[in-house]
Structure 1
């Protein structure tokens, strides 16, 4: 076995230094550039492989750089690395500690050859599939392995898992940058390398990957050319393939599989769906190719209809591609004008439907597309529609200045104008300037509800972002663009491919189409999504180097708009969304961003007026803007968590540093942030760390550990650790923390179940708790409703028992609410009525928020049931009575919250007045907590009231007795009617 060796190593992922012990067992591999040892790590006994290569001090090791960023089930994992000295004075060796996999495809192939048989086809398929997965992953990162061969394909016989190893020849390929052709082992070298190509792509790996599984086809009569000595004497070089088995005598006369030819409509669909996604293809060539294929096959009805449908679908589902799809349509217009007329007809029909339904986001996306086609429209074209929208917005705001539909219409107008000005219609400057000026009457005025959704209320921190409404911000930016000649440098202009023709003025000779009518109805609806003023939120504000567009640049709003729409539209596929975010630089002008994954420190070296905007920062910023959207995001919070996680997994070298800077910004401003957002940040932070081994640079916040428990930063740290423990277990989390943090995880938190003076048979299982409550339900119901003191005692008993694991206590209180053993009012009184320090505890906010959510959800469900059509008058009366009772209970609950929190916020609470004169630091902090709580729950109440106002506008239809859809049933079953997008919320009493 040998002696135990101790080394200081750096972690393969984080780079953090730690101690490692191992026993050097034996050499298991020798190569041209290094040696591989099989080792056993101590004290775990885990097998590992250490690859030792000579390190040239003048250069960084490319293999190490690549191994640190790749993470995939079919790629060998880098555990750690360290440097060691050689026998000579200046010799330095790099040691890569990797997972150990016992076998290779090479040895497996030799075994089957020895047994005079071939590898089973099932195993061949399994291994090729896994190899393809590994290649697809590294190719998506731009990495070319350049040494695919059987010896570098590791196999685990016990599991059948294949892993790609040896990235010593690998390289991240850069377009138009030459590479050496003398690369790859000669047996597996691609044809283009054999002939000396230096400008190759990752496709060389596809050629190489087939060979390891077909070695038996080789024949000594076929030789590879000698690329080293092309004019020298013929040497005995490696063989290529043996095709003798395909002679006529051995011809296989069984029916052969029919060659599959992809239908033309499928091919065009694939090309259009992937337009602009690859930086290796010239997008103008893609546009012309698609347009030409469609027009040349105009008689193919399936192709034609598929193209029409896909154009509209692509515009409303992948907003990044709008300028490119519009360019395809413009090129089609030069060949088949009748196709453009049909597209315009379908697009305007879709717009009319969206306007009627209140689908304002889809309306905006379609208007941007039509704006990109302005050059193909007769007369004023889209401008007439924008004028109608503006007139309707002004009418709505005149009637009611709290109306949210008017600003939404103006937002559609302002986001459409840049796409018109970046289109082939180059003579619209006056119309654009006039429209921007006319929209100023609405856009420049802050909405009355804007203060309600400010992420930094009363912010005294200079670094935090001051509130800026997106509408007023965009208005100012457009005025600036009008003064600068509508440069709009971030928007691509792929339509300029039309100017590359030999024709002198191709745009003037194309057919101009009338825009079909778009009708704005007299009565417009807010639509399915609640509308609130949108504020511009950024986690990269006030950096010494700009990594995102400043708010003075229109790119900030245009990029954010496209990103936010993409994120919220593609909620059904987080992986696709993450991929779009990473590839954002493909969809805008070439000089808009710096190169992906450029380190922040290197941005200071960017010369002249070149952009320093990092594409990953812009993408992450957009996700956080939705995660921190007030009063509520469009989708569940976990969706935005998952996007950041998937993005980090797809491009760790780019996304991880961006997230680190975002976390530091949010933490610095956690005390001035809206309370609800600070808890969203806490939830995401803990969840994100759980996906990456719970690792974070906690040493940066060590000074805050000694702060009092009511300090917002200390409260954040304690709350985040509690969330982490819920997602794992205390001992593991404790092991990830520096020494000063150890005190925060007490001995009680490390116990599976708390100590109890009575019998404690059972477990932490929720089903066990529910069964216990069921057994004692009658007795608890006799005790709980008797008095408020009894209910408080029940909550005290639960939370005292689970004081070290408060998340379990919150869950149990929630179940007691369902059984009506506790009332919502008793939970509120327990949480906010007596102890001011409870306001700083994350689990108390969680308990109150869940309780309020349960009450408001139940009330909404009952209100919706009152709008069910087809009820009889008697049924309607019963439902209305139930609704009024629920609304009163909800108002009483919010009134109780208001009374309790106002006392804390103003310092007039009895406990505060008795403890001091209100001037101490602790009392000031408690008042701050009271103000933050008060703002959150005032907002929640305002949102509920606004929702009720909108629901009241919905007309209902009653029927005569005996004719209703529920006439044969019981009126008390109305509550059981299924409500869209609502969960079943148990009945609870206030």
Structure 2
């Protein structure tokens, strides 16, 4: 028998491999000259930036004017993506403005190469400004400011540029986001170039500072709502533990102005000042005048109180950054040098979000780009080769980096990037230098832990616990828990005790129960210590015990589900069980609730092996779930209660199950909100005694429900917009394809204006869905607001009236915080989540402010009740009415 193959198979593959091996696989990839030039500019300073300036300048000059586009692009990328190099890019451009020795006689015949590059760079800046790319725009202004100090850009044109951004603050109805970013552009540009600008016109400098001061004064109410350290009873005031971004910028400007900006030279590297001034024949570059374009509104689909389809923009709040260390350890942002360092580091953390490893490396190398004496030298580092000028601050680099990263993570109402980025970044920094960064991380954890009892915002406490657990998971869960053993004597609801439980719960999710138990000291392991849960996370089927009531009925349902019976067969069995139980019941038991509990818990039981099992079970028995939820609100609440009972040992799964039930429209977001306030996860509620309260687990459920309702409206609105555009395009094509002449087309168009436009069935359906989802969104927000009112400022006759809620908002009670018990701490946490609800969902609340405020808060107008007054004040600040 022949085994010859009709194809060459492996032989061909071997031949191809041999041909490939004949080539040098290490040969250089061809790089165009333009790319080489851009790379040379971007790599400036890999060894010594000062020594490399002349080499890069010569490389740019080699091609003459033909290199201008590539060089300009290199400068744009370098300035906006490597802001720590901006002073050295200024020095490089300074060199390019100098005429070459052999061509000095002809310098008057045309612009220098540096000026050509700057003119092309300006076009890129204008593109950034047109797109309102605020960070890139601000960093370009840094570059222009350094060029002004280097006497390359004229002072009056730089002042005009800054005034263009200050003019934004006077716009009617300017948003917080637009005003803040425009003010930062003007403020930071003035910090760098202030000395030259003040020499040219002191009035311009004073006008800029005054305009920023006026703007900051208008933001006082909103600052109170996003301060990381909360004082419920007090008016907004400066906190030593946190710094607001614009306030620190203003403080620095005032400090610099008082010394005629002499301190700028000790705040920013200025290597270009070491060069000789440009020849008199080279004129200064005048920046063209600009007008900041109108803002681009980020849209969400919403419906106003009048029922009209409207668009709103996302709200941005003042930015507070927590301080963890003293001014002699990390930079003081209210000082010129401290602000310059912190601002650049924050930009680096933001820019390099796409590559955390590169970001960590650059952060640890940051002292290379600062003035000598800014940071303490690292152990084993060579002595500075350029001792002058010396800042003499000697800050600790590692502590500064951790403070910057955690400060960015703990910005309210939400951080610029996902939590996982900051966690991963800190982890990478620790891996690169564990011996120096580890102690800084430990000190930061202790500072934040101590801040919990001093009023750290509840949302920040949640993020702190989340970061702590993930960071510990990356380093073997090693922490000195014994330091916190004395805190076990505190009240169970004390923020420190809550943090320990929350952190341990997160750690268990990242590992397993026994592993985390072994990391804790013996004092924290018992159940009565309230640190570890009593059992490992897992399901708890209420009807698994033969001694429990309804065990036999539940087992029959469970067996049917395990056999993958048809939904209608399960429904028939439940009806049979219901009839049987109704005949034997004494009337004190709600048989319908029992049937729902049996069905839901049995369904969850067969899906508890894995997440895929759970999804398969839910999808297979959707008709069963819809049948159980059909009777109405009470039925849906029973379903949610059954889920919470089944997963009470794994509260994360409760949120997951609720989310899936909302996704499949078994329950709606308003049901989840109502269930959370009446029953909750973390507290025993729903009884006739004890005040209502809210904890972090409850907030997770509320957030999931509100995000689901808001997200559906956004999706529905996009669909309506897309369908409407599609229909408009279709009508336009029909008109365009009409064979009539132009005159007849115009006549037909005029005639058709009186005819009503008939929407397509798809658009009509989409509009109905949008209206329905909008009502659901409004109902969820309204129910949330009502729930908080019932918790925090109920009527005195209400059975859940909470005197502790009123006590914690009064100053006399605040100073006795050490004596607070469970009720006071519960009230404190609930107040914290109400504040976070108002600021996190402010855009949606503002859209419905009239209706929601009239229905829920109008009764508190003119009240003397401190809790009611605080409730109303928080609402007014969030909705822009205060």
User: Please, what TM-score do these two structures have when normalized by structure 2?
Assistant: 0.69
Aligned equivalent of 1:306, options 66, 70, 85: 70
The reply on whether 1:824 has 2:662 as its aligned counterpart is no
CA distance in 2, matches of 1:261, 1:308: 22
CA distance in 1, matches of 2:267, 2:283: 27
CA distance in 1, matches of 2:281, 2:517: 70
Structure 1, 343-352 or 910-919: larger mean CA deviation:
910-919
Aligned equivalent of 1:852, options 676, 695, 706: 706
Q: CA deviation at 1:591?
A: 1.4
Q: CA deviation at 1:691?
A: 1.0
Q: CA deviation at 1:567?
A: 1.8
For the residue of structure 2 that corresponds to 1:793, the secondary structure is: helix
| 1:418-461 C-alpha deviation (Å, 9 max, x unpaired) | 222488x8945736633443434534414153333222232689
Q: Which residue of 2 aligns with 1:768?
A: 613
The answer to whether the Cα contact below 8 Å between 2:804 and 2:827 also exists between their aligned partners in 1 is no
| 1:51-102 C-alpha deviation (Å, 9 max, x unpaired) | xxxxxxxxxxxxxxxxxxxxxxxxxxxxxxxxxxxxxxxxxxxxxxxxxxxx
Q: Higher helix share goes to which structure?
A: 2
1:508–1:472 Cα change, 3 Å? farther
The reply on whether 1:451 has 2:233 as its aligned counterpart is no
Q: Which residue of 1 aligns with 2:169?
A: 393
1:364–1:867 Cα change, 3 Å? farther
CA distance in 1, matches of 2:173, 2:29: 63
1:540–1:368 Cα change, 3 Å? same
Q: How does 1:209-288 map to 2 (within 5 A)?
A: 268-278=37-47, 281=48, 283-288=49-54
The reply on whether 1:360 has 2:158 as its aligned counterpart is no
1:530–1:419 Cα change, 3 Å? farther
Q: CA deviation at 1:481?
A: 0.9
For the residue of structure 2 that corresponds to 1:700, the secondary structure is: helix
Aligned equivalent of 1:891, options 778, 786, 793: 778
CA distance in 2, matches of 1:406, 1:255: 57
Aligned equivalent of 2:322, options 538, 543, 546: 538
| 1:297-335 C-alpha deviation (Å, 9 max, x unpaired) | 13484x554322111011111211111111111111113
Q: Which residue of 2 aligns with 1:371?
A: 145
The answer to whether the Cα contact below 8 Å between 2:633 and 2:671 also exists between their aligned partners in 1 is yes
Q: Which residue of 2 aligns with 1:618?
A: 400
1:725–1:917 Cα change, 3 Å? closer
Aligned equivalent of 2:269, options 492, 504, 509: 492
CA distance in 1, matches of 2:238, 2:288: 49
1:406–1:886 Cα change, 3 Å? same
Q: Higher strand share goes to which structure?
A: 1
The answer to whether the Cα contact below 8 Å between 1:465 and 1:537 also exists between their aligned partners in 2 is no
The answer to whether the Cα contact below 8 Å between 2:539 and 2:648 also exists between their aligned partners in 1 is no
The answer to whether the Cα contact below 8 Å between 1:712 and 1:840 also exists between their aligned partners in 2 is no
| 1:612-647 C-alpha deviation (Å, 9 max, x unpaired) | 421222222222222122222222221222111111
CA distance in 1, matches of 2:233, 2:57: 56
The answer to whether the Cα contact below 8 Å between 1:315 and 1:322 also exists between their aligned partners in 2 is yes
1:492–1:322 Cα change, 3 Å? same
Q: Which residue of 2 aligns with 1:230?
A: none
CA distance in 2, matches of 1:300, 1:837: 73
The answer to whether the Cα contact below 8 Å between 2:228 and 2:457 also exists between their aligned partners in 1 is yes
1:576–1:705 Cα change, 3 Å? same
| 1:175-224 C-alpha deviation (Å, 9 max, x unpaired) | xxxxxxxxxxxxxxxxxxxxxxxxxxxxxxxxxxxxxxxxxxxxxxxxxx
Paired residues, what number? 672
CA distance in 1, matches of 2:353, 2:532: 40
CA distance in 2, matches of 1:805, 1:692: 24
Q: Which residue of 2 aligns with 1:77?
A: none
- Alignment RMSD, CA only? 3.6
For the residue of structure 2 that corresponds to 1:749, the secondary structure is: coil
Aligned equivalent of 1:736, options 519, 534, 538: 519
The reply on whether 1:712 has 2:495 as its aligned counterpart is yes
1:437–1:772 Cα change, 3 Å? closer
The answer to whether the Cα contact below 8 Å between 1:597 and 1:616 also exists between their aligned partners in 2 is no
Structure 1, 766-775 or 425-434: larger mean CA deviation:
425-434
Structure 1, 844-853 or 433-442: larger mean CA deviation:
433-442
CA distance in 1, matches of 2:281, 2:37: 24
Aligned equivalent of 1:636, options 391, 395, 418: 418
Q: Which residue of 1 aligns with 2:484?
A: 701
Q: Which residue of 2 aligns with 1:470?
A: 245
The answer to whether the Cα contact below 8 Å between 2:98 and 2:112 also exists between their aligned partners in 1 is no
Structure 1, 740-749 or 303-312: larger mean CA deviation:
740-749
For the residue of structure 1 that corresponds to 2:260, the secondary structure is: coil
Q: CA deviation at 1:597?
A: 6.8
CA distance in 2, matches of 1:300, 1:413: 32
Q: CA deviation at 1:713?
A: 1.7
1:699–1:432 Cα change, 3 Å? farther
The reply on whether 1:430 has 2:185 as its aligned counterpart is no
CA distance in 2, matches of 1:737, 1:321: 47
Q: CA deviation at 1:693?
A: 0.8
Q: How does 1:61-76 map to 2 (within 5 A)?
A: none
CA distance in 2, matches of 1:380, 1:351: 19
1:712–1:907 Cα change, 3 Å? farther
The answer to whether the Cα contact below 8 Å between 2:176 and 2:316 also exists between their aligned partners in 1 is no
Aligned equivalent of 2:337, options 543, 555, 559: 555
Q: CA deviation at 1:286?
A: 1.7
CA distance in 2, matches of 1:460, 1:598: 51
Query: What residue ranges of structure 1 are gaps of 5+ in the alignment?
Result: 1-252, 500-505, 600-607, 950-990
Q: Which residue of 1 aligns with 2:56?
A: 290
The answer to whether the Cα contact below 8 Å between 1:453 and 1:630 also exists between their aligned partners in 2 is yes
For the residue of structure 1 that corresponds to 2:118, the secondary structure is: helix
The answer to whether the Cα contact below 8 Å between 1:291 and 1:331 also exists between their aligned partners in 2 is yes
The answer to whether the Cα contact below 8 Å between 1:694 and 1:736 also exists between their aligned partners in 2 is yes
Q: Which residue of 2 aligns with 1:572?
A: 354
Q: CA deviation at 1:841?
A: 4.4
The answer to whether the Cα contact below 8 Å between 2:517 and 2:532 also exists between their aligned partners in 1 is no
CA distance in 2, matches of 1:509, 1:377: 14
1:785–1:261 Cα change, 3 Å? closer
The reply on whether 1:726 has 2:509 as its aligned counterpart is yes
Q: Which residue of 2 aligns with 1:861?
A: 715
1:531–1:579 Cα change, 3 Å? farther
Q: Which residue of 2 aligns with 1:900?
A: 787
Q: Which residue of 1 aligns with 2:82?
A: 318
Q: Which residue of 1 aligns with 2:747?
A: none
User: Please, what TM-score do these two structures have when normalized by structure 1?
Assistant: 0.62
| 1:831-879 C-alpha deviation (Å, 9 max, x unpaired) | 2224683756433322222222222122222233444444446266654
1:633–1:782 Cα change, 3 Å? same
Q: CA deviation at 1:735?
A: 1.2
The answer to whether the Cα contact below 8 Å between 1:537 and 1:625 also exists between their aligned partners in 2 is yes
Q: Which residue of 2 aligns with 1:414?
A: 187
Q: CA deviation at 1:659?
A: 1.6
For the residue of structure 2 that corresponds to 1:619, the secondary structure is: helix
1:748–1:390 Cα change, 3 Å? closer
| 1:789-835 C-alpha deviation (Å, 9 max, x unpaired) | 32232222222222222212321222122111222122212222246
CA distance in 2, matches of 1:350, 1:288: 25
Q: CA deviation at 1:478?
A: 0.9
Q: How does 1:876-955 map to 2 (within 5 A)?
A: 879-906=766-793, 908=795, 910=798, 912-913=800-801, 921-945=821-845
1:267–1:344 Cα change, 3 Å? closer
1:790–1:859 Cα change, 3 Å? same
1:404–1:494 Cα change, 3 Å? same
CA distance in 1, matches of 2:800, 2:175: 38
The reply on whether 1:340 has 2:114 as its aligned counterpart is yes
